[in-house]
Amino acid sequence: MNTARDLFVIALESQPERPVGQGDLSLALAGAELIDLIAAETVTLNDDLILPGSQPALDDPLLGAAASALVRQGPYERVEDWLWRRGRDLSASYQRVFEEDGLLTRARRGRLSFGAERMELVDTPARRRAQERREVDEPVLRALAVAIGIRPGPKEDAPGPDGDAVTTVLAAVNDAVMELEAVRQRRSIENAAFANVWRAP
């Protein structure tokens, strides 16, 4: 299971009311990578501290890069700090790797947009796997998609993600995305106030 790649696929395929910000997606991708590393038993969590374990060979180079980026000596890194550090420009890294692997092409007349470029996903088994996880409303993928605004919240009786560690990561992703949005709003207000000063008689 590669949650980060699947999240990237459904983010590209989605047409939310507002475009997905690369910062939001990067934070969610970093969270998805951490969840996959937990599933692979490469890391464990002690409360919100990331404790690295063995470093097995991982088939996915992006996930391998994430494992190599872990802080392996104390004091260990908190989940929130990991999201901000690993998440820096991570969506651009995924786009580049998808293009290099032939999974993503520049669309001629595509309806999908990502940033300033129009991109188109190639029909592959990986794309179909991500679509299947979305269609069955897989809890972890759904929670990450909700955090970045490309899925509505779950129904009241919908099952939630399994495990305290995964829940901790998902909560941290939500907090980080909200913090990023607060920064955007503050900058917007500050810029508007600055512009008003210049327009004042």
| End-to-end CA gap in the chain | 60
Q: pTM for the full model?
A: 0.84
Reading the block at residue 8, the tokens are 């990237």
Q: Is the pLDDT of residue 126 over 90?
A: no
| Residue 172, pLDDT score | 95
Name the region of 16 (left: φ>0; alpha: ψ -120 to 50; beta: rest). beta
- The tens digit of pLDDT for each residue in 16-70 reads 555 678 889 999 999 999 999 999 899 999 999 999 987 777 888 999 999 999 9
| Residue 163, pLDDT score | 84
Does an H or E element contain 80, and which? helix 79-86
Q: Where are the domains of the chain?
A: 3-174
Distance set, CA 110 to CA 13, 94, 141, 155 (Å): 11, 19, 25, 32
How far is residue 35's CA from residue 45's CA, in Å, rounded to a whole number?
Answer: 10
